[in-house]
Structure 1
Amino acid sequence: MRHVSVLGQIFGWILALCLPGHAAAQPSCGGPEMPCETVSGSYHIVLPEGPGPHPVMMFLHGAGGRGASLVRPSGTSKQAVARGYAYIAPNGLIRPGRNRPGWSFHPDFPGQRDEAAFLQEVMTDAATRFNIDRNHSILAGFSIGGSLASYVACTTPAAFTAYAPISGSFWRPHPTGCAGPVRLLHTHGWRDQVVPLEGRFIRQIAGRDFAQGDVFHAMTLWRRANSCDNFRANRFKTDGDLWRRIWVACAPGTALELALFDGGHGVPSGWGKMVLDWFEGLKGSIN
């Protein structure tokens, strides 16, 4: 895993200043210590060894999370980088009066920024600074990060090659439909009480219900977007603690799965490997 360190940055500046005819190097960015700044926000990135271009896994943190914690050399980031991926973790914004970051994910409530546009801004910035392959990209996210990933998949399905929300989906009222077909693998805990599979009421905001949606209804929307022939899944697979339901009688070039695990609100063991294997298995359907 290649982090861009502060010491490495300082060395680069010194080297550039010492070489005649060379302008001072631009400040670098990347790992947990130094986010890359864009017009609308910031992100962290870790890169594999080699020249690239590197496929991309972008992961959206949950409520109160931060991108810096996601790019430390462990867990999913370590797995992704070991398999040749650039791993990008954008940062949510802190709302006025609060002290923890979040995402403006709900389409019916005012947000601080257009998050879908911000994620594309991040991809454009990363393509400029680093040798990434934005045509082979997967957008994942946990909890409300998973909700944001779901809404991006619904409204702008071509923004990323594939989507992998975890423990987060649509909120009520559910979308009436999505813009087009997707490649999507949704993962959820059977015992999740923070974001139950059926959703739950949170509170009222300005006289309107703020309530989580139903994952099973979301799967209906995805089946409709992918022109699947049946309500029921066509294939079933068990990967350790992950129980997968797979729809294959759908439009060419699409992919749709629901993976359940016997756990609560979290990212299950084996999720990173499952998702990367799934994504790499889609290569025949990706232009």
Structure 2
Amino acid sequence: MRLASALVLCLCFAGPLQAAPICGDPDTPCETATGSYHIALPEGPGPYPVLVFLHGHGGRGGPMVAGETAREATARGYAYIAPNGLVRPGRDRPSWNFHPDFPGQRDEAAFLHEVMQDAAARFDVDPKRSLLAGFSIGGSLASYIACATPKAFSAYAPVSGSFWRPHPTGCAGAVRLLHTHGWRDEVVPLEGRVIRQVAGRDFAQGDVFHAMSLWRAANGCEAHRADWFETVDGFMRRAWTRCAPGAALQFALFDGGHGVPKGWSTLALDWFEALAGPNQ
């Protein structure tokens, strides 16, 4: 009895047990087999729709889950996932292996699939309600994944980043995509630019208008000219509506430079929620 009483006293004064740290916050990434990611969750039970956002060159996922876009997404009931790019040998800032002609350390499409599977198991996110977005080079990676594997995510929303030269000759199938770009972008101009030469070849950004023609072809759109136009909340938007069943294509310009414009998350999530049914 004395031993039992002593044990009770010890437990009473020991205080509550400390919960094991949960990964995903700005300081504690969730590790997967080939990388890591951060996540912000909304209140309430899942399964949650998810916005996956790829950082630009030199960015990191940690600060992003505490940012404005993450707060707006979680307020609308979305999980917000910010994966981490890798640091290339000889470099000191993370980036993405996005260009098919310059393979890198990791298959990024396979890594993002890995992230989605891990987040579904840990946090009850719903891969069938998934929007892949990205800024700058992150937007380029989102574009290439949309082109090569249109059904990997439910929809795509690249910002200030698109294909590089040489442009793809075609895409695997119809896609649901919203491309947003600054009219005065000088880092990734709408017409693209040469960055440097690699192995005697130009490493050059592509032409966003040509990218839109590739998306129209992939979606089987009936006309080059857009079917719908709107200017509201600082965005000049156009959409192609006479396309293949299940396809969706919209282009939004804003009067600004290289960045994610104010109001983008509302624009993108409103567009995503208006789409009919899953694309998987």
Given the two structures, how large is their TM-score scaled by the length of structure 2? Answer: 0.92
Query: Which residue is equivalent to 1:6?
Result: none
Query: Which residue is equivalent to 1:266?
Result: 259
User: What SS does structure 2 have at the residue aligned with 1:278?
Assistant: helix
User: What SS does structure 2 have at the residue aligned with 1:14?
Assistant: coil
Are residues 1:177 and 2:170 paired? yes
Are residues 1:70 and 2:55 paired? no
Q: CA deviation at 1:28?
A: 1.9
Aligned residue runs from structure 1 range 24-43, under 5 A: 27-43=21-37
Q: Which residue among 54, 79, 83 is the counterpart of 2:48?
A: 54
State the Cα RMSD in Å. Answer: 1.3
Query: Per-residue displacement from partner, 1:73-130 (whole Å, max 9, x unpaired)?
Result: x311111000000000000000111110000001001211000000000000101111
Are residues 1:139 and 2:132 paired? yes
Give me the whole-angstrom Cα distance separating, in 2, the residues matched to 1:278 and 1:15.
42
Q: CA deviation at 1:58?
A: 0.1
Query: Which residue is equivalent to 2:188?
Result: 195
Distance 1:98 1:285, change over 3 A: closer
The residue identity in structure 2 corresponding to 1:118 is F
Gaps of 5+ in 1: 1-12, 17-24
Give me the whole-angstrom Cα distance separating, in 1, the residues matched to 2:17 and 2:35.
28
Give me the whole-angstrom Cα distance separating, in 2, the residues matched to 1:47 and 1:217.
37
Q: CA deviation at 1:142?
A: 0.2
User: What SS does structure 2 have at the residue aligned with 1:64?
Assistant: coil
Query: Which residue is equivalent to 2:7?
Result: none
Query: Which residue is equivalent to 2:94?
Result: 101
Contact persistence 2:154–2:278 (CA under 8 A): no
User: What SS does structure 2 have at the residue aligned with 1:157?
Assistant: coil
The residue identity in structure 2 corresponding to 1:208 is R
Question: Highest CA radius of gyration, 1 or 2?
Answer: 2
User: What SS does structure 2 have at the residue aligned with 1:210?
Assistant: strand
After the TM superposition, list the runs of 4 or more consecutive aligned residues in structure 1 that deviate by more than 2 angstroms.
13-16, 283-287
Query: Per-residue displacement from partner, 1:42-62 (whole Å, max 9, x unpaired)?
Result: 000010011110001000000
Query: Which residue is equivalent to 2:112?
Result: 119
Q: Which residue among 244, 255, 267 is the counterpart of 1:251?
A: 244
Give me the whole-angstrom Cα distance separating, in 1, the residues matched to 2:232 and 2:152.
29
Query: Which residue is equivalent to 2:5?
Result: none
Q: CA deviation at 1:166?
A: 0.3
Seq. identity, %: 71
Q: CA deviation at 1:15?
A: 5.1
Q: CA deviation at 1:184?
A: 0.1
Distance 1:155 1:223, change over 3 A: same
Contact persistence 2:42–2:75 (CA under 8 A): yes
Are residues 1:275 and 2:268 paired? yes
Q: CA deviation at 1:252?
A: 1.3
Give me the whole-angstrom Cα distance separating, in 2, the residues matched to 1:123 and 1:110.
22
How many residues get paired?
265
Distance 1:235 1:218, change over 3 A: same
Given the two structures, how large is their TM-score scaled by the length of structure 1? Answer: 0.90
Give me the whole-angstrom Cα distance separating, in 2, the residues matched to 1:170 and 1:14.
51
Gaps of 5+ in 2: 1-15
